[in-house]
Amino acid sequence: MSAVTVAGTQRATRNPLPLLVIWLVLLTAPYWLPLIGGYTALGTRVLVLGLAAMSLNFLLGFTGVLSFGHAAYFGLGAYGTGLALKFLTTSTPLALILGMLLGGIAGAILGALIVRRRGVYFAMVTIAFGQVFYYIAFRWNTLTGGDDGLRGFARQPLHLGALTIDIAGDQVAFYYFVLLCFALAAGAMGFLLRSPFGRTLLAIRENERRARFLGIPVEFHIWAAFTLSCFFIGLAGGLDALLNNFANPRELHYSQSGDLVIMAVMGGMRTFWGPLLGGAVFVVLQDYVSSQTENWMSFVGLLFVVVVLFFPRGLLGFLQRRGEA
Amino acid sequence: MTQLLLFNITNGLIIGAFYVLMALGLSLILNLSNVINFAHGGFLAIGGYIAYTLSPYLGFWGALIVSPFLTALLGLFIERVLIRRLYGRDPLYSLLLTFGLAFIFQDMTRYIWGAQGLPVSIPSFMGQPLSLDFFFITGYRLFMVGVVAAAVALLFVLLRYTRVGIRIRAGTLDLDTVAALGVNVRALRTLNFGAGIFLAGLSGVLAGGQLGLDPTMGDGLLMPSFIAIIVGGVGSLTGTLIGGLLIGVASGVTAVFFPSASEAVIYVMMAAVLLVRPRGLFGEEGMMT
C-alpha cells in the first residue's frame, strides 16, 4: 500500500499534464467562475482554505501525525495580520509576513511541548493547546475585540515602485495576489516534500521505529514539520483576514480545526493537491447549503460520517485507485 | 475573603466533579478502544434533555435513574452501527466520525428541544442553602457531589472486583492478549463504551439541574475533561479522577484573584505537566505512545 502511494505522488510530479490543468483552472478562475454562478471572492476563499488544508496535510498526510488544533495557527495568522495593519504598518505584504511569523513562532514553541506524543494523544494535546489561543482571542477584548472579532483594518493597495495595484478595491486583482501567495507556498511545500527532508518525513510516516533505528532524529523532524506547517497555515490565515477585512475568534475554535482536517481527508490526504480539492468542495457546499437550510451543522456532520465510512482515501485517492485498477 | 475563597473552592470542586464524571467516561473509552469521543458532550446534553422530557412523568428521581440508561442505549447503538467499523483503522477516522456526530447531536438537540435554554426542575427542598454563612452550599450541590462520589466509587469497585471490570483493565494494558485468552473483545468494547456514555448521561442530568439545559452545554465541559485526562495521565483512571478535581479547584481559586484567567489556568497547568512530567501525574511510562 505504501509503495503504491509513494509511487503515486512521484508519478503526479513527473507527469506535467495534471499540474498544467490545475494551474490553468486556477489562473482563469475569475473569468469562468461568474459563468457558472460563482463569484470571485468565493474563488479566493477556496484558495485560502485550500492552502490551509494543504498546510495541515503537510503534517497529517506526509508526516503522519494528527494535529487537530491547526485552526489556532490559522487564526493567529489572521489576527497577526489584522493587528499589524491596524497598528503597525500600511504595507499589506509586511502585515502578511508578520501574521505568518506569529502563527509559525507559536507553532514552534508549542510544537516542542507536543512532539513526543503520538496518535490520539498528539491530537488531544494539539486540540487543547489550540483552545488557549481561542480563549485569548475571545477574552482579550481591548486588543482583539473579543466575541465581535477584530475590525478596523483593511487591506491596502500594493505599491511596486511606480506601479500601484489596487488589491483593496478590485476583487480580481486581490484574487491574483492570493494566487501568487498560494503558488509560492505550494511551491515551497512541494520543494520541501521532494527534498531529502521531505523523504525523511515520509519514512517517519511509514515506519517510525525503523526510521529511528536508521538514526533519524524523529522528534526533531516532527517538530520541524509541525513548525513549517504552522508557518504555511499562518499565511493562509493572514490571507483570510485580508479577504474579509475581519478576523473572527471562531476561526481559532477546534471545530474549525475539524473542518480543515475533513477538507484534507475528503480531498485525499495522501495526495499533494487533494486538500485543495477538498477545500473547494467544502467551501462551495458551505456557500450553497447554508443558503438553503439552517441545519448546516447536521449536513457537515453527515459529511464527516460519509467521508469516514465510504471515502477514507478521499476524492483524489479514490480516482487514483480507479485509474490504477 | 475567606468566605469568597471557600465559595470559589466549593464551586471549583463541584465543577471538578462534573469534569471527573465526564472525563472518566472519555477515559474508559479512550483506554480500551483508542477512540477520542468528541460526541461525549453531545451525549451529555441528550442525557439532560431526556431527563427534562421524562421528569413530568417519572419525577426528578425517576428521570435521574432512567435517563442515563437511555443515553447509554443510544451509545450502544452508535457504537455497534458506526464506531465498531473503525477500530482497526487509523485513529484519525474515529476522531473525525465522533466529531461529525457531535455536530449532528447538537443540531438534532436544537431541532427537537429548541435553541432556548430549558430548566430541569429539582425537588424544592434541595434548592435551599443549608446555612446562612455558607449560602453557596445548597442541598442540591451536596447531593450532586454525593451522586458523583457514589458513581465513581461504584465504577472503581466494579473495575476492581468484577470479572468484566478486570477484563476491561487488562484490555487497557494489552487487548491482544485478552482476546487470545478467549474473551469476546467486541462485546467488551461495546459494554465499555456504553458505561462511558452512561456516565455522560448522568452528568447531563446533574448539570441540567444546576445550570439548566442548552444544546451546547457539553462543549464547555469537553476541553477541561481532555485536560483532566492529560494532567492525570493517560491510561490511569485514578489520574483522571485527581486531574479533574485538581483543575476544577485550580480554576475556582484563580477566579478569586484573576477572573479572566480562570479558563486559561487549566491550560497552563497542562503545559506545566507536559513539560515536567510528560506522561501525566499518574501515567505509566509507555502509555503515551
Three cell numbers at A196?
A: 531529502
Query: What are φ and ψ of residue A233, in 5° steps?
Result: -75, -25
Cα–Cα distance for residue pair B126/B139, rounded to 1 Å: 4
> CB–CB of B223 and A131 under 8 A?
yes
Give pLDDT, residue A320: 77
Question: Does a structural domain hold residue B262?
Answer: no
Average the pLDDT over each of A12-16, A167-171, A234-238, B264-268 and give the range with the smallest value.
Answer: A12-16
Give pLDDT, residue A319: 80
Q: Which of residues 237-276 of B touch A (CB under 8 A)?
A: 260, 263-264, 267, 270-271, 274-275
Give pLDDT, residue A3: 43
If you compute the radius of gyration of chain A from its CA atoms, what whole number of angstroms results? 19
> CB–CB of B223 and A261 under 8 A?
no
Query: Distance from A105 to chain B by nearest Cα, in Å?
Result: 17
> CB–CB of B104 and A132 under 8 A?
no
Three cell numbers at A157?
A: 493597495
Give pLDDT, residue A1: 40
| Average pLDDT score over residue span B161-165 | 89
The answer to whether residue A8 scores a pLDDT higher than 60 is: no
| Average pLDDT score over residue span B167-171 | 87
pLDDT grade, residue A24 (50/70/90)?
confident
Give pLDDT, residue B288: 42
**Least CB–CB distance from B107: residue in A60, A129, A301:** A301
Count contacts between A and B (CB, < 8 Å): 116
pLDDT grade, residue B135 (50/70/90)?
low
Report pLDDT digits (tens) over A42-69: 889 999 999 999 999 999 888 888 888 8
Tell me, yes or no, if A133 comes closer than 8 A to chain B by beta carbon.
no
pLDDT grade, residue B74 (50/70/90)?
very high
Cα–Cα distance for residue pair A85/A168, rounded to 1 Å: 13
Residue with cell 465526564: B22
B78 to chain A: nearest residue by CA? A305
User: HSE-up of A198 (CA within 13 Å, CB side)?
Assistant: 17
Give pLDDT, residue A75: 92
Give pLDDT, residue A233: 94
Q: Which of residues 285-304 of A touch B (CB under 8 A)?
A: 295, 297-298, 300-304
Q: At what angle do helices B219-232 and B2-33 cross, to 10 degrees?
A: 80
> CB–CB of B275 and A113 under 8 A?
yes
| C-alpha dihedral (B237, B238, B240, B244), degrees to nearest 10 | 150
Query: Distance from A251 to chain B by nearest Cα, in Å?
Result: 16
Report pLDDT digits (tens) over A116-175: 877 778 888 888 888 888 888 888 877 877 777 788 787 877 777 777 777 777 888 888
Average pLDDT value over all residues in chain A: 85
Instruction: Compute the residue count for chain A.
Output: 325
Cα–Cα distance for residue pair B111/A319, rounded to 1 Å: 37
Say what the pTM is: 0.86
Tell me the percentage of chain A whose pLDDT exceeds 70.
95
pLDDT grade, residue A324 (50/70/90)?
low
Specify the amino acid at residue B100. Answer: G
Give pLDDT, residue B45: 92
Helix (H) or strand (E) holding A103: helix A92-114
The topology under which CATH files domain A2-324 is ABC transporter involved in vitamin B12 uptake, BtuC (1.10.3470)
pLDDT grade, residue B134 (50/70/90)?
low
Question: Which chain B residues are closer than 8 Å to A212 by Cβ?
Answer: none
Q: How far is CA B79 from CA A253, B92, B99, B209, B228, in A?
A: 27, 16, 14, 28, 24
> CB–CB of B95 and A136 under 8 A?
no
Give pLDDT, residue B2: 77
Alpha helices (H) in chain B, listed in sequence order: 2-33, 40-81, 91-113, 139-161, 163-173, 175-180, 185-211, 219-232, 237-257, 264-276
The angle subtended at Cα A228 by Cα A152 and Cα A25, nearest 5°, is 75
Give pLDDT, residue B56: 84
Q: Where are the domains of chain A?
A: 2-324
Average the pLDDT over each of A172-176, B105-109, B278-282 and give the range with the smallest value.
Answer: B278-282
Its domain, for residue B27, covers 2-217
Cα–Cα distance for residue pair B196/B26, rounded to 1 Å: 6
Average pLDDT value over all residues in chain B: 85
| Average pLDDT score over residue span A167-186 | 87
End-to-end CA distance of chain A: 13
- Give how many domains chain B has, as a whole number: 1
Question: How many C-beta neighbours within 10 Å does residue B17 have?
Answer: 24
What letter does residue A164 receive in the DSSP assignment? E
Give pLDDT, residue A74: 94
ipTM of this predicted structure: 0.82
The answer to whether residue B265 scores a pLDDT higher than 50 is: yes
Three cell numbers at A195?
A: 527534498
3-class DSSP assignment, residue A158:
strand
Query: What are φ and ψ of residue B98, in 5° steps?
Result: -65, -30
The answer to whether residue B127 scores a pLDDT higher than 70 is: no
Report pLDDT digits (tens) over B224-262: 898 898 888 887 888 888 899 898 888 888 877 877 777
Question: Which chain B residues are closer than 8 Å to A116 by Cβ?
Answer: 278, 288
Question: Does a structural domain hold residue B104?
Answer: yes
Question: Does a structural domain hold residue B252?
Answer: no
The answer to whether residue A269 scores a pLDDT higher than 50 is: yes
Cα–Cα distance for residue pair A50/A207, rounded to 1 Å: 28
Which residue in A272, A275, A266, A280 sits closest to A309, CA to CA? Answer: A266
| Average pLDDT score over residue span A242-271 | 88
